[in-house]
Chain A
Amino acid sequence: MTVLTNPNKRPKWQKMSIWGYIALIITTLLSIFPFYWMFIVASNGTDEISKIPPTLLPGPRFFTVVNNVYEALPQFNQALINTVYVGTTVAVAQVFFSAIAGFAFAKLNFRGQKFMVLFVILTMMLPSQLGIIPLFMLMGWAGLIDSLGALIIPALVTAFGVFWMRQVIDAQVPNELLESASIDGAGVFRAYWSIVLPIIAQSSFVLGLFSFLASWNDFLWPLLVLNTPENFTAQVAVNQLKSSYAIDYALNMGGAFLSTVPLLILFVFVGRRLVRGVMDGAVKG
């Protein structure tokens, strides 16, 4: 009855219970722990963690381990530079091509458009590994094996990016704005440049971030096409640290840590935008 008399006042059981916070704190600890553990192992050395109970605190050996990483693979810095270069190029290209195609699919009327959109959606469901052997052959014919081009060129466009930009432009750009611009004499290019682009700048940035992260973390394809250490990406470099006879956990984790820290720093600045991007792109209802 209290609800009827005062609908704005929520009953007590709807307030946040302590268990909700406990669940969130446990989730937070579990999410952070592997990163922390990377640093613990890398700063203590393999011997220190190979005892019971293992230490849970940072040790003094971090720079020794970092040195070992650079000794095992002097090109590690080059690998990081390569990864940034590939990731940035791929991100910019994907945003550009996805935005213009997404704009056309969302706002322009042309014959065959319905079929094309369906085609984009269907191809998103194909397993990406299906074409990997012919793609490898194609890179061989094009002379791109063991070059960063083999990572960049096949990744310039994705069906996902086009679909995503179509959703964004459809939801964020009002038709009325485009209509009034075209009445004022703007063509398709002007309308795109002066109306669509400023509105979708935020979402484009998010798509670019996701492309960058995907490129940074791509593992198998770079492993297949890259041979010389000068051309390695961070993931291939970290993988290279795994020797076949004995696993040096400190060395491995040191490499993993060095290849992850740039992403964590990036995340501090863009994490909230990424969260919004994930939630904006969610299927609701």
Chain B
Amino acid sequence: MSQSVAVKRSSKPPSPWKPARPNKKLSNSNAVLSLNGKWGYLFTAPFFVMFLIFGLAPILYSVYIAFFNWDALGTQEFIGMANFQELVADGRFWNALVNTIDIWLLSTIPMLIMSIGLAAVLHNPFLRGSTFWRTILLVPNITSVLAIAIVFGQLFGRDFGMINIIIGSLGFEHIDFVQGTTSSHVAIASMIVWRWTGYNALIFLAAMLAIPNELYESAQLDGANKWKQFIYVTLPSLKNTITFVLIVGTIGGLQVFAEPLILGGSYNGGDSGQFSTLTLFLFEQAFVAYKWGYAAAIGIMITFIVAIVSIINFFITKRLAGDKK
């Protein structure tokens, strides 16, 4: 039953937040009317109260102090848009923005391709030991960024890092990954790819398993080989999932800070800021320079950038997936 409904569902406008259960919009049309709905306020109250205090209020207050010259010592002077004007003219901000986007692209594209590929392998019904492979895929995701950044920092080391030893044994010069701009971005992106490829492969696998078998059967009858089935059946069916993974990846990717923070050992993002990111720049201003108003302004800019990139992502994936049909 769920499969037939799933087909109908895909004809509706796609939404990345579509609930797992079909025919359910953001409404209470599915509510149990014989239960007294008034209790809903009590049941949701603890969440809303705590979320307002510890989630929303700090964010709103952060918007407020962005218009102040506000530091940890007690200076509180209203300066209007001056923080934003300073930010737009600040070379460090643009440097961090370029680095963040570069790291995001270097991590997102390989991760997306590899995770869809792995999901396709796991989707094969003839695979043996599928539970084992699926479980292995999640192992990188459970450990801390700190522990992994320590390991990767050593592996990417200039003199005795495993990667440079391999590069050296192939006859090339050792690369100083941390000092270079692109090379440090590659090192950071590789940590992100390592951590998230398996997780996203499971997401894509779940989406592939939800594709009705009839679609493959009829493609088979039309003489489509495995590759053509993947291009014309699997990929178009994944468009909402791809959008979802991209949006979640964008929100996380544009806020990347832990990997560069640990790789460089400071909030600077490298000696010349070569791997400083937007969020790292925010923390540097907030907790090293103690310019809280300025840091809050950076936070607001990050939010705008995340929102804009998410919207662009949404439309691009919709367009790309639509064309394939």
CB-based contact A191/B35 at 8 Å: yes
- Contact digits for B298-314, partner A, Cβ 8 Å, 1 yes 0 no: 01101100110010000
Q: Chain A contact residues: over half helix, strand or loop, or mixed?
A: helix
Query: Which B positions have Cβ atoms within 8 angstroms of A?
Result: 6, 9-10, 16-21, 24, 26-28, 30-41, 43-44, 46-48, 50-51, 53-59, 61-62, 65, 117-118, 121-122, 124, 126-128, 131, 133-140, 142-148, 150-152, 154-155, 159-160, 162, 165, 168-169, 194, 197-199, 202-207, 209-211, 217, 220-221, 225-226, 237, 240-241, 244, 247, 251, 254-255, 257-258, 261-262, 265, 279, 282-283, 286-287, 292, 295-296, 299-300, 302-303, 306-307, 310
Q: Which residues of B contact A281 (CB under 8 A)?
A: 20
CB-based contact B202/A275 at 8 Å: yes
CB-based contact B251/A133 at 8 Å: no
- Least Cβ distance of B68 to chain A in Å? 12
Q: List 26 A-B contacts (CB under 8 A).
A: A3-B220, A30-B194, A41-B154, A54-B160, A100-B46, A106-B31, A109-B40, A127-B299, A130-B303, A133-B62, A134-B57, A170-B30, A179-B34, A182-B32, A182-B34, A189-B39, A238-B147, A238-B150, A256-B151, A279-B202, A279-B203, A282-B202, A282-B203, A283-B207, A284-B241, A285-B18
Rounded to whole angstroms, the CA-CA distance of A133 and B50 in the bound complex is 18
CB-based contact B59/A219 at 8 Å: no
Q: How many A-B residue pairs have CB under 8 A?
A: 351
Rounded to whole angstroms, the CA-CA distance of A274 and B303 in the bound complex is 30
CB-based contact A16/B303 at 8 Å: no
- Least Cβ distance of A130 to chain B in Å? 4
> Does A207 count as interface, using CB distance less than 8 angstroms?
no
Rounded to whole angstroms, the CA-CA distance of A271 and B134 in the bound complex is 9
CB-based contact A217/B55 at 8 Å: no
> Does A228 count as interface, using CB distance less than 8 angstroms?
no
CB-based contact A285/B34 at 8 Å: no
> Does A253 count as interface, using CB distance less than 8 angstroms?
yes
Q: A171-B20, A282-B203 are in contact. Are A116 and B44 (CB under 8 A)?
A: yes
Rounded to whole angstroms, the CA-CA distance of A114 and B24 in the bound complex is 12
- Least Cβ distance of B50 to chain A in Å? 5
